[in-house]
């Protein structure tokens, strides 16, 4: 058992992502068939600055559905079950998570919250409980195995804490990712998922800066805090959407 840190890897994304989004936008406003123009859009020397400018212009009008044609797939490791319970609330997305039913958790790793790590007494109690949970899991699994149970892991897992580390593969399209970043990069988001969202955003900006250069919490795009009042972190002035 050990404390672990999160890892985020960009496993794959739609090839030629900018050209795909540009082609989808152009098809909405052009009489011709974008399939005929596709070789030119992806050829060496293609005018990607022009593609990017057109995409930005249309996005500013509020038309965002063509972003759904491009998706990103991430591998996340060393994240807690508390994080993945929040993560799977986001739609539209696909998830494949490490199963506690099939993977032996006798020596599970765990995520240590920074506030707990900073308090010596809280950390000692936290780590003692992790050891207790691990011992309870091993004891229950052994007792069920002795009874001839073929699926002892699926019942022993009920004692595992939310801090137990997990691995998960996540796929989202660009439109869903922009929404994800608006909510989970916000200072009011829980610290762990905010940290992981920031790591994902950095990878997205590297792969497709034309779309993700301004991605992040809504306040950075709006210039004011849509949370408002006592929910604002204070980075931007609060302002109602009706103003």
Give the residue numbers annotated as catalytic, written as ranges.
184
Count Cα atoms within 13 angstroms, Cβ side, for 220.
Answer: 13
How many residues does the structure list for the chain? 243
CA distance 216 to 191: 15
CA distance 136 to 208: 46
Q: Which residue has the tokens 């929910």?
A: 231
Q: Which residue has the tokens 């800066």?
A: 209
In a 10 Å sphere around its CB, with 0-12 CB exposed, 13-18 middle and 19+ buried, how is residue 147 labelled? exposed
For residues 114, 163, 169, 181, the Cα torsion angle rounded to the nearest 10 degrees is -40
CA distance 184 to 27: 32
Task: Collapse the DSSP code of 153 into the 3-class scheme (helix H, G, I; strand E, B; otherwise coil) and give the result.
Answer: helix
Closest CA to 107 of 151, 141, 155: 141
- The radius of gyration computed from the CA coordinates of the chain, to the nearest angstrom, equals 23
Angle ∠(101,92,222) on CA atoms, nearest 5: 125
CB neighbours (10 Å) of residue 206? 10
């Amino acid at each position: 058992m050990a404390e672990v840190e999160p890892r985020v890897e960009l496993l794959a994304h739609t090839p030629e992502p900018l050209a795909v989004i540009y082609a989808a936008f152009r098809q909405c406003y052009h009489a011709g068939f974008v399939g005929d123009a596709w070789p030119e859009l992806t050829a060496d020397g293609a005018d990607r600055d022009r593609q990017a400018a057109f995409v930005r212009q249309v996005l500013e009008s509020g038309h965002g559905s063509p972003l759904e044609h491009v998706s990103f797939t991430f591998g996340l490791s060393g994240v807690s079950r508390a994080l993945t319970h929040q993560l799977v609330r986001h739609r539209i997305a696909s998830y494949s998570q490490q199963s506690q039913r099939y993977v032996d958790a006798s020596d599970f790793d765990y995520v240590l919250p920074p506030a707990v790590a900073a308090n010596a007494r809280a950390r000692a109690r936290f780590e003692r409980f992790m050891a207790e949970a691990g011992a309870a899991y091993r004891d229950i699994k052994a007792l069920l195995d002795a009874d001839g149970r073929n699926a002892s892991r699926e019942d022993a897992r009920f004692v595992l804490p939310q801090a137990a580390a997990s691995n998960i593969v996540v796929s989202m399209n660009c439109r869903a990712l922009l929404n994800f970043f608006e909510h989970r990069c916000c200072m009011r988001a829980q610290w762990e998922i905010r940290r992981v969202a920031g790591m994902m955003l950095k990878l997205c900006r590297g792969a497709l800066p034309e779309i993700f250069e301004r991605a992040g919490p809504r306040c950075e795009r709006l210039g004011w805090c849509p949370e408002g009042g006592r929910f604002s972190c204070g980075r931007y002035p609060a302002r109602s959407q009706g103003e």
